[in-house]
Amino acid sequence: MIPSVDDSIPEDPIDFQLDNEISDLQDQISALKAQRSIQVSTILSSQSTRSTLNRLRVSQKQSKLSPTTTDTTPLLSTSTAQLVHTRENLYRLCAGITTFRIQDPDPNAVDDGKVLGLRIDVASTGKFVRPYYVMLNKPFAGSELLRVHRHTIPPCIPLSLLVDRYLPNGKGSAAMGSKEPGAKKQDLRRFARALRKEIVGYHNRVSVIKGLRKEFKLDEKVSRKGKGRERVIADISAADAEAKQVRIEWVDGRIGRCVVGDGGEVRKCVVIGEEGRDFETERRVARGAMEGIGERLREGIY
């Protein structure tokens, strides 16, 4: 188990072994801790635990506190907290867009630091990605107009476009629920929905491109044995930040670029090789949705 020691610093093999053991034990500790916290939350969130705790509490109130019985109040409060947390998770899972309140820590913040948080949960390839947040406040005195205060939306999502459309705060715009005729009304619901649509669309496009790469085995090493079919596609990648343009490279030197619409449909496609445009492949790629590109390319190849 002792590795060959470099000539630079002769290391004590026993030291090395002990270090290994210690790090192993530390790993074990953290694994056990994680396991314990999962068990704790499972026990706390179960219905029967709660009823038991409640019963205990009632019985404690009746009989006088004796040193042998444990105080159930902290347990009950943790159980309540767990319940709230589980409920929040449930909302996040089902709704996709949830809101919460934040207190701006800046003492000079507008509107007494009241901030509305918008949380957007998106799942991609079977996993939840880190949620996206938009924080809104009301900076305009005597008006209910909302403005984006902070956000964690990457620049590849056209947030400012959506804000212009659904949350205008310039001249002639009105707050939600105002009855002013002819004013550009802010609409938080439609803003949130449109924003989530953009984000989901972005993640879908990225995962489709990932899927295409997998389909053509672009991330694997080329096997020398000539097993299976020969590689035809050299590369498939997103050509821009929003992943709305896909670049396809063939082994024979042809290069293609297709533009994808909001709904994931291929809108335009250009394929150019050494002998000019390849109209047949272009037509084939542009015929349908983005996720079918791979299949349609195969049809042409084999």
Q: Which residues bind another protein (CB under 8 A)?
A: 37-38, 40-42, 45, 78, 81-82, 85-86, 89, 92-93, 104-110, 121, 128, 130-133, 135, 147-161, 163, 239-242, 244-245, 262
Nearer to another protein, 20 or 86 (CB): 86
**Residue 173 to residue 182: CA distance in whole angstroms:** 9
Nearer to another protein, 25 or 161 (CB): 161
Closest-CA residue to 135 (of 148, 153, 122): 148
Minimum Å gap between C-beta 94 and another protein is 9
Nearer to another protein, 136 or 297 (CB): 136
Nearer to another protein, 131 or 273 (CB): 131
Nearer to another protein, 110 or 232 (CB): 110
Q: Give the other-Cβ count within 10 Å of 189's Cβ.
A: 10
Minimum Å gap between C-beta 58 and another protein is 25
Nearer to another protein, 61 or 130 (CB): 130
Minimum Å gap between C-beta 232 and another protein is 25
Minimum Å gap between C-beta 203 and another protein is 14
Kindly provide the b/e burial profile for residues 63-78, where b requires at least 16 CB atoms within 10 angstroms of the residue's own CB: eeeeeeeeebeebbee
Nearer to another protein, 162 or 208 (CB): 162
Minimum Å gap between C-beta 64 and another protein is 32
Minimum Å gap between C-beta 42 and another protein is 7
Q: How far apart are the first and last CA of the chain?
A: 52
Minimum Å gap between C-beta 61 and another protein is 27
